[in-house]
Amino acid sequence: MWEVQKLLLVLLSLCALTGDSRGQPPEAVGKQQQITLATVSANYREGLLKLAREYEALHPGVQVHVQVQPPNGYETWLRTQIGTGSDTAPDIYNANYAIGFYERGLLVNLTPYMEQTNPYTNKPWKQNLDAQFLEKYKIGGDVAVLPLDFIEIAFFYNKDVFAKLGLKPPRTWEEMLSQADRIRKAGYIPFAVPGDADSYWSGTVGWIFRFFTDAYLRDAVPLVMSHPNDWDYNPRVNDGFKLDVSSPYNDATLIMNPERLIAAIRDKQIRMDSVRFQEAYTKIAEFASYWQRGFNGTNANSAYQLFLTHKAAMMLHASPTISQLEKDQSDLYPEDRFEWGVFSVPPLTQSRFHIPPFRGVGGAGAMWSVVKKNDAQTKLVTDFLMFTTTPHAAQTLVEEAVKARQSINGPLLIPGAKMPETMARHFNAFTNRGFEKLSFRGLADEQESVWKWTVWAQQYLDGRVSVDTCLKRYQETMLEAVPRVVHQMNYDMNPQTKDKVGK
Residues ≥6 apart with Cβ < 8 Å to 417: 391, 394, 395, 397, 398, 411
| CATH code where residue 185 lies | 3.40.190.10
Residue 19 inside a domain? The answer is yes
Q: What one-character DSSP code corresponds to residue 484?
A: H
pLDDT for res 483: 97
Mean pLDDT computed over 11-32? 40
Of 350, 375, 410, the residue at which a domain comes to its end is: 410
Residue 105 and residue 501 in contact, taking contact as beta carbons nearer than 8 Å: no
Burial of 267 by CB count in 10 Å (0-12 exposed, 13-18 middle, 19+ buried)?
Answer: exposed
HSE at residue 434, side-chain half, CA atoms within 13 A, is 23
Residues 213 and 239 in one domain: yes
pLDDT bin (cut points 50, 70, 90) of residue 29 is very low
Query: What pLDDT is recorded for position 10?
Result: 34
Residues 6+ away with beta carbon under 8 Å from 16: none
Same domain, 270 and 380: no
**Nearby residues of 476 by Cβ (< 8 Å), 6 or more positions away:** none
**What pLDDT, on the 0 to 100 scale, is given for residue 110?**
97
Residues 133 and 104 both lie in one domain: yes
Question: What predicted TM-score, i.e. pTM, was given to this entire model?
Answer: 0.82
Residue 497 lies in a domain: no
Kindly report the average pLDDT of the chain as a whole number.
Answer: 89
Q: Is residue 39 located within the same domain as residue 172? A: no
35 touches 58 (CB < 8 A): no
Report if residue 495 sits inside a domain: no
**427 — pLDDT class (breaks 50, 70, 90):** confident
Q: Helices 204-216 and 275-288 meet at what angle, rounded to 10?
A: 150
Residue 503 counted as domain residue: no
Following CA atoms 471, 475, 480, 483 in sequence, which dihedral angle do they give, to the nearest 10 degrees? 140
Q: Radius of gyration of the chain from Cα atoms? A: 24
> What is the Cα–Cα distance from 137 to 363, expressed in whole angstroms?
9
- The tally of domains found in the chain comes to 2
CA 310 to chain centre: 29
Is 285 domain-assigned?
yes
pLDDT in tens, 68-92: 988 878 888 888 888 776 778 999 9
The reply to whether 101 and 85 lie within a common domain is: yes
From 135, 183, 185, select the one nearest 160 (Cα to Cα): 183
162 vs 320, higher pLDDT:
162
**Is residue 160 domain-shared with residue 264, that is, in the same domain?**
yes
Whether residue 276 is contained in a domain is answered as yes
Q: Are residues 45 and 186 in the same domain?
A: no
Residue 67 backbone phi and psi in degrees, to 5: -110, 125
Percent of the chain exceeding pLDDT 90 equals 70
| 463 and 402 assigned to the same domain | no
Q: Which range of residues forms the domain containing residue 125?
A: 2-150+365-410
Residue 502 covered by a domain: no
Confidence (pLDDT) at 6? 37
Whether residue 240 lies inside any domain: the answer is yes
The DSSP bridge partners found for residue 158 are 340
Q: Are residues 316 and 235 in the same domain?
A: yes
Q: Are strands 123-124 and 312-318 parallel, antiparallel or unpaired?
A: unpaired
Same domain, 89 and 143: yes
* Residue 255 confidence (pLDDT) above 60: yes
Q: Are 171 and 185 in the same domain? A: yes
Q: Which of 348, 378, 410 is the last residue of a domain?
A: 410
**Helices 300-308 and 321-331: angle between axes, nearest 10 degrees:** 50
Q: Which residues contact 122 (CB under 8 A, 6 or more apart)?
A: none
**pLDDT higher than 70, residue 4:** no
Of 350, 378, 410, which one is at a domain's C-terminal end?
410
DSSP string, 353-416: T-PPPP-BS-EESSEEEEB---HHHHHHHHHHHHHHTSHHHHHHHHHHHHHTT----SSBSSTT
Q: Is 141 helix (H, G, I), strand (E, B) or coil?
A: coil
CB of 89 within 8 A of CB of 81? yes
Instruction: With a cut of 80, say whether residue 267 has pLDDT above it.
Output: yes
Together in a domain, 238 and 181: yes
